[in-house]
Structure 1
Amino acid sequence: MPDLSRFAALAAKAGASPVPPVPPAVHGGGTAGFGGKIKRYQRIADPVPPVPPVPPREINAPHHADLMDAYEERAAILEFDAHLSRAEAERIAWNEVFGNHSQYP
């Protein structure tokens, strides 16, 4: 145990009231010396309503972000390699990737 006499002298000099000693623990601390059973209580104030299951996305179906990536990549290739204007390259790439699907932006 560290020697706290210098700290106690400094505290007394500053006018602090002396701290009473702490009594030792009754059973040695922790749960090792505790002979009784430990009970756990749980209070549920507001039960959480059940969440309906979300159907998984079909693995083989293309995702919107994947289609947009393909569109942007195809447009860039057409613009660079075919020397098309940006608008023309985007129009052709859109038709190649999305076709006539109006559900995409």
Structure 2
Amino acid sequence: MMTPDTAVADCPVILRASAWVDHMPKVGTGPHKMIVAVKLDDERSWQLTPEPSADPAVRSLALSPGGPAVVGNAGYREPVSDDMPTAISLTCGGREVARIDRIQVVM
């Protein structure tokens, strides 16, 4: 079993993290999508999964090994309404390792 300190030591270095909401016009009334992309300094595959957040305005995503991402990358997508998060907290091993404070809206 890994302790939180061991898990954090095994977390990759985040080189770049960005988030945007795709507000491009589309046919129909489907929801817009928020996309999170993370570039990692690591030779393994990683995934981002949603986790509970104490602040409803902050979307918390846990970074963990595995998933379908290309090696050294992790990504996440979810439908969003006009009431989207103001920030995204990226956690690994139970601790925040990065925060995205600017979520761009792409028109």
TM-score range, shorter chain: under 0.3
Structure having the higher Rg = 1
Structure with the largest fraction of helix: 1
TM-score between both structures, scaled by the size of structure 1: 0.19
Greater relative CO (CA pairs within 8 A, separation 6+): 2
Structure with the largest fraction of strand: 2
